[in-house]
């Protein structure tokens, strides 16, 4: 455990160790940006089908991109202690390579708390949608890792992997 992690206080726990939603009402609104990424590994034949648009369910990349965008708007309903945020922008990029699809989500808001969970949710749900669209041809696809790459804004400032 790093020294910073040892000093970190779990803000979602009250003094008795019970889960709580953090009070953010007095925090200033600032621009918040988070970037997350992940991948779906697959057989090369599956990647070729996706790139050629020949998967029976339709345009895999378009559906996965839309699923990621929609997921951002629903994050606070999926993750119990997340605040609903005023999202100002979402970009979900999906690049299909030889044997994997790389997913990158950038989420922006001007609000009192960060958008890291929204970016991570976008990548996760886009990966799940991609899997769902292509599972008929490749049930051996593997999702992950999904990670936060960068966050900007708020009291903790800028962090980058």
pLDDT digits (tens, 9 = 90+) for 43-97: 999 999 999 999 999 999 999 999 999 999 999 999 998 999 999 999 999 999 9
Stronger pLDDT, 51 or 24, i.e. the higher one: 51
For residue 23, what pLDDT is reported?
62
Give the C-alpha separation, 119 to 107, whole Å: 6
Fill in the DSSP letter of residue 21. Answer: P
Residue 82 and residue 84: Cα distance in Å, rounded?
7
Domains in the chain, ordered, with CATH? Answer: 37-160 (3.30.70.640)
Q: Which residues are catalytic?
A: 132
Q: How far apart are CA 131 and CA 156, in angstroms?
A: 35
| Torsions phi, psi for 139 (to 5 deg) | -80, -5
């Amino acid at each position: 455990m790093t020294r910073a992690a040892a000093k970190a206080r779990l803000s979602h726990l009250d003094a008795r160790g019970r889960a709580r939603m953090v009070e953010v009402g007095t925090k200033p609104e600032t621009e918040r940006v988070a970037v997350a990424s992940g991948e779906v590994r697959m057989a090369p034949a599956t990647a070729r089908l996706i790139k050629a648009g020949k998967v029976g369910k339709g345009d895999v990349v378009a559906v996965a991109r839309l699923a990621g965008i929609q997921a951002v708007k629903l994050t606070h309903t999926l993750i119990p202690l997340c605040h609903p945020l005023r999202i100002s922008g979402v970009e979900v990029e999906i690049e299909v390579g030889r044997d994997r699809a790389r997913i990158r989500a950038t989420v922006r808001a001007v609000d009192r708390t960060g958008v890291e969970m929204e970016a991570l949710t976008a990548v996760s749900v886009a990966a799940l949608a991609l899997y769902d669209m292509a599972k008929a041809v490749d049930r051996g696809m593997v999702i992950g890792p999904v990670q936060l790459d960068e966050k900007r804004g708020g009291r903790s400032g800028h962090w980058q992997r």
